[in-house]
Amino acid sequence: MLKGFKEFITRGNLPQIAVAFLIGMAFAALVSSFINDLIMPIIGKLIGNVDFANLFINMSGGVYESAAAAREAGAAAIYYGAFINSIVNFLIIALVAYLILRSVQRMQKPDEPAPASTKSCPFCKTSIPVDAVRCPHCTSEL
């Protein structure tokens, strides 16, 4: 049983998938930092000094200075600023994934069509095998 499991793990694309998953996680962390630390502060400044990370709707009745303080207190709140950050993260990651896949598809060779297995008889226009020397329909020599 252990030998079969070892073959399953080492064969095929499983190691490549694992490496791609790790690279994807690192890329997601990089994009998240890019969004939260660079893009969203610029957008917030353009909108009017808004910090998206601190946008929340307090539903508990208490008063909290920031979303982090509300989270620490365990207050019932809707943290829509964090949701906006997540949407922007997703859109940028999806755009980059699309651009990568599109460029990979352009680099791949198009599949060559398989050689034809039939041809048309020049006399009766019936479909016949490529290597036929006589038409089975009209019996003419090809």
**Entry pTM:** 0.57
Question: Which of 110, 115, 138 is closest to 126 using CA atoms?
Answer: 138
Please check whether residue 17 is in contact with residue 23, taking contact to mean a CB–CB distance below 8 angstroms.
no
d(CA 142, CA 139) in angstroms, rounded, equals 9
* Mean pLDDT across 75-87: 88
Please check whether residue 34 is in contact with residue 96, taking contact to mean a CB–CB distance below 8 angstroms.
no
Rg, Å, the chain Cα set: 31
* Mean pLDDT across 6-33: 81
Other beta carbons within 10 angstroms of residue 57's beta carbon come to: 11
Residue 6 has pLDDT above 80, yes or no: no
d(CA 22, CA 28) in angstroms, rounded, equals 10
d(CA 44, CA 88) in angstroms, rounded, equals 13
Q: What is the pLDDT of residue 132?
A: 85
